[in-house]
A and B are shown apart, each in its own frame.
Chain A
Amino acid sequence: MKRFGLISVPYLWLLALFLVPFLIVLKISLSDTALSIPPYTPTLDLSQGWAGIREWWAGLDMENFTWLTEDDLYWKAYLSSLKIAIISTVLTLMVGYPIAYGMSRAPDEWRPTLMMLIILPFWTSFLIRVYSWKAILSNEGLLNQLLMNLGIIQEPLIILNTNLAVYIGIVYTYLPFMVLPIYSALERLDESLLEAAEDLGCSRFTAFWLVTFPLSRQGIVAGSFLVFIPAMGEFVIPALLGGSKTLMIGKVLWEEFFSNRDWPVASAVAVVLLLLLIIPIVLFQRNEEKQREAEK
């Protein structure tokens, strides 16, 4: 009985505030836009009993989803989010792996400090970290000032308000999510395996490629999901660093909701985004549970 109470409290909380809200999104995505409060129709009226439910059910249709396929803004935004998320995940991996590797090879007494240095930015405000790039990347910003003073470029580079700035922003803010899982995989690595590989005639690079890299795979997978999934729906980074041409689905959803006040279309956008992310989310969860099993 006590066990039941222990399970039911967090269970009911998550059902009520996580699962039910999704069902509502799904429901509204099937409704029609209307100039009323709330701005959609039909609304479920339970006071009329069965008739109310039937009327509500009859009013639902796939119109918003058809609309998403007809207006190419939406699928362009999905594709462009996918492209930006994939490229920035690969870039984050390329920047993050050497850091994680360096940390795992560092002397033992340095590691807690290095670990803290990686985690510290993660505790500081995401918004502020994104914002800090604005002063660096703008046309009269510090990067351009530096490059022009060094005589490398004559004209300022236009970086702010382009996709490049969005990549930089994503790599910068999500770097700890990539470094930490890879580091924890590399840290567990048994070094005698590397010695064995070298004894058997591998060069250090081949030993890395044949032993270290495959054994850090789980960390790479976890880190990549932790970057890719939130990057797909990212709003703050494209809104602050991207330009008007940067199409990302998170931004489209935001504008559909707050500027156009089109709740049914915003909900349909959310449903499609979720469907696209469900496969990576399930794979991520499998990977986590496998790791948990391995730790036991």
Chain B
Amino acid sequence: MRRLSWFNAVSLTLGFAFLYIPMMILITYSFNAGKLVTVWSGFSTKWYGELFRNEAFLDAAWVTLKVAVMSSSIATVLGTMAAYVMVRAGRFPGRTLFSGMIYAPLVMPEVITGLSLLLLFISIGLDRGVLTIVLAHTTFSMCFVSVVVSSRLVTFDRSLEEAALDLGCTGFEAFRLVTLPIIMPAVVSGWLLAFTLSLDDLVIASFTSGPSSTTLPIKIFSAVRLGVSPEINALSTIMIGLVTIGVIGASLTSKRSIAKRQKDEQEAIK
């Protein structure tokens, strides 16, 4: 076993301290009794109570969740198709443009994406609301899904698909019965990525939402723009908690499925 040199140990410790201390502080102060967020005045969970009585936040949370589920699901289908096209379709007219449109949204400043989509919706006369946010979120998150899925497709052994075709599957059956189960972990992580991107997005949602469809990030942003608020600390703690459970759960599941696959493969070789 390799041992960690002191230099690496120090840089890892400092690096992770930098990443985690701000969030720890945020969580700690969400249990602060006082209104001031920088002075500790005793343990209390009252801000959580306030939060759950705040209808505006609950409404916004519901809108956000709806948008995230819809946009990430559509984005997963479109993104998987796009990845399949990128990796398997070979040459076709307009391929360069297609790959450009897949990569550009990954790094496009959100203000530009938001502005351009808003101008599109206005020029075709589509009222801003849940639908427009879903369309906007689907468009940028499908590119992330496509990158995640295509990195799995690249390492995929194509002869498995060919075998399925030789055994009489149609192209779609081969995809459904052979390709899809193998790339499934990537498709699931693509969905999760799209889901979080949508939950998280402030800028694009601000441009594309209407008055009746305020999302949680928009709400949080307007609350914290002027200062720190203990209610937002409580909300942040809940969100961080959910994500932590989700990420740890997902990594345990994937570890188990990898272990199972390795065991299956070993038994198949025997």
Contact = CB atoms under 8 A, between A and B. Distances in A.
Interface in B80-123: 81-82, 84-85, 89, 92, 94, 97-105, 107-112, 115-117, 119-120, 122-123
B244 interface: yes
Contacts, number: 254
Contacts of A120: 243-244, 247
A20 B107 contact: no
Interface stretch (A52-60, A69-77, A192-200, A222-230): A222-230
Interface in A79-111: 95-96, 98-99, 101-103, 105-108
A254 interface: yes
A28 B119 contact: yes
Given A9-B81, A229-B107, A136 B15 contact: no
A125 B120 contact: no
Interface in A141-170: 141-142, 145
B65 to A, nearest CB: 14
Interface centre among B99, B117, B136 (most CB of A within 10 A): B117
Interface stretch (B18-26, B41-49, B53-61, B160-168): B18-26
B36 to A, nearest CB: 9
A213 interface: no
Contact of B111 (A10, A141, A250): A250
Contacts of B15: 95-96, 98-99, 102, 175, 179
B270 interface: no
Interface residues of A, number: 92
B224 interface: yes
B246 interface: yes
B85 A6 contact: yes
B179 interface: no
Contact of B110 (A18, A24, A108, A235): A235
A263 B25 CA distance: 40
Interface in B174-193: none
Given A38-B122, A99-B12, A102-B11, A285 B81 contact: no
Interface string A111-132: 0101011111101111111011
B263 interface: no
A123 B98 contact: no
A2 B171 contact: yes
A22 to B, nearest CB: 5
Interface string A229-271: 1101111100110000000001001100110000100110010
Interface in A1-26: 2-3, 6-7, 9-11, 13-15, 17-22, 24-25
B253 interface: no
Nearest to A282: B100
Interface in B202-222: 202-203, 206-207, 217, 220-221
Given A14-B102, A125-B236, A235 B111 contact: yes
A68 interface: no
Nearest to A274: B112
A63 interface: no
Contact of A127 (B20, B78, B115, B200): B200
Interface residues of B, number: 89
Contacts of B23: 121, 124, 129, 132
A10 B119 contact: no
Interface string A180-202: 00000000000000000000000
Given A229-B109, A253-B111, A98 B11 contact: yes
B27 to A, nearest CB: 9
B18 to A, nearest CB: 7
Interface string B213-254: 000010011001101100010001001100110111001000
Contacts of B251: 112, 116
Nearest to A15: B101
Contacts of B89: 3, 6-7
B228 A128 contact: no
Contacts of B244: 120, 124
A10 B79 CA distance: 7
A99 B9 CA distance: 9
A21 B109 contact: no
B5 interface: yes
B160 to A, nearest CB: 17
Nearest to B24: A132
A78 interface: no
A193 to B, nearest CB: 16
Contact of B239 (A14, A116, A125, A133): A125
A135 B246 contact: no
B144 to A, nearest CB: 12
Interface in B2-45: 2-5, 7-9, 11-12, 15-16, 18-20, 22-23, 25-26, 29, 37-38
A164 B221 CA distance: 21
4 nearest CB pairs, A to B: A233-B109, A21-B116, A98-B11, A99-B15
10 contacts: A11-B94, A13-B138, A25-B115, A95-B18, A98-B11, A112-B251, A120-B247, A136-B25, A172-B18, A277-B108
